[in-house]
Structure 1
Amino acid sequence: MAEPVTTLRDASQSAFAALPANAQRSALDIEYRWLNAHLADAPLAVFLHEGLGSVAMWKDWPQTLCERLAMRGLVYSRPGYGRSTPRPRDVKLPVDFMSVQARDVLPALLDALDVNAAERKRMWVIGHSDGGSITLLYAAAFPDALAGAVVIAPHVFVEDISVDSIAEAKTAYEQADLRSKLARHHDDVDSAFYGWNDIWLSNAFRSWQIIDELDCIRCPLLAVQGNDDHYGTMAQIDTIAQRAAQTQLTKLDHCGHSPHRDAPHVLNDAIAAFVGKHTRSALS
């Protein structure tokens, strides 16, 4: 059962870590929603959205998966997205913006929502696309602060196919109907779109990679990708498996960049089997 969407006033201001040190910082509103909050003793699944995502853009998939897993859930919109505080127009995301989200923003949000250390040890983090990369970075930075991770179409380095598709998205946003579609899900749609699009298309970002960080991940890790993904190739999750030997790969036929939309039943089966296996082994 999904709780109403709520906003959290983040007095720590950590989510604007990307702002210059001399910039004026104000408190942030973070949009979030609890799922199955009545399951007080159940493990928590935290969902990290894609580069243009939000609480609303997940639709009902997190709820469906939480019911399948008998878990509580937490979905939230990162600063700049959904109903959370927009990115200031004069602030560009830094090359390490995903590291900032993993290292600073997610831990601060969990602190503000009173998710304690014991709950975090049982927590699963599930991320899609940029959210998948943030999931990997969180698992690397806090190896004892989660039970396991699921990454769906993550990025660990920049490929030409990603840049080409993101450039096409800019054309669709400025010349077609992508802006009007996204505007339904973001209070400041330009903040959401250009924050993501500008950094991914910048020359500085072409050398971004998080391959070395993968060596630090110790938790069970499921990496999922569709064979028809136009934002990345199988080299992304193959690289993860090469550096984190405990990784299980799931490669989906007839599936694009968003398996939770293109193949939700197959994806849910894969996640449920993986989580169930590692939950049983943890109890044995």
Structure 2
Amino acid sequence: MDLIQAIIIAIVEGLTEYLPVSSTAHMIFTSSIFGIQEDEFVKMFQVSIQFGAILAVVFLYWKKFFDFKNFNFYIKLAFAVLPALVLGKLFDDKIDEVLGNPIPITVVLVLGGVVLLFIDKIFKNHTIHDEKEITIKKAVIIGFWQCLAMMPGTSRSAASIIGGMQQKLTREAAAEFSFFLAVPTMLAVTVYSIFLKKFNYLGIEQKGYEMLMQGDNLKLFLLGNVIAFIVAVIAIKFFIGVIKKYGFKPWGWYRIIAGIALLVYFTWFK
């Protein structure tokens, strides 16, 4: 992966991490078009630059994250993230198998788009407008919904937002809680990929941080996180504005059109 490819993938991550369109799918499609998806460092890079996108949420909602008097907030996030931590570890190998094949991911992208077209009609009775009204039980249920995103193409953001709306959260409240839940979830995934998971890089089994110490990898990693952070800040503000005004239909149509176009591309031209 060269510098330009790393920058483009980081921009894609920042744009899509908090939108209900699947950042993982978009990064896989991008790296597949570049012909670098099978590279182990690229796979680790795509996961680890989510750390930059995580910081965007902390930056924008810093009053929430550093309000230590509201200890229940941290408890809710801790319970909500548990399902993803447990199931993510159990199905890690299965997830890796899917990551190398863009075809099923495009199908999931389209199916998820169809769901988003009707989600506002399915979950209409919203009674929860603020994070403080979310109980631990509701947080855990949303956490299980988030686990649907273990299938690349589903979208962690979409799954957790739908879970929030199913638990009576308004669109805006569900989106914001999805942002909050992304922080411990993506932080755990990033730490696991860098310090615990082993990759077969250049014919040698090694951990993520060992790959970072080779060549220009560390430079690409740092640059990728900075770019993902800046772009994610812009994307989050944009997304909240769109769902307030238009709901989820625009994202549903985007997923369907993009998914079909990419399915044609990977089926006939790749």
Structure 1 length as normaliser, TM-score? Answer: 0.27
Task: Point out the structure with the larger strand share.
Answer: 1
Q: Which one has the bigger helix percentage? A: 2
Q: Name the structure, 1 or 2, with higher relative contact order (CA <8 Å, separation 6+).
A: 2
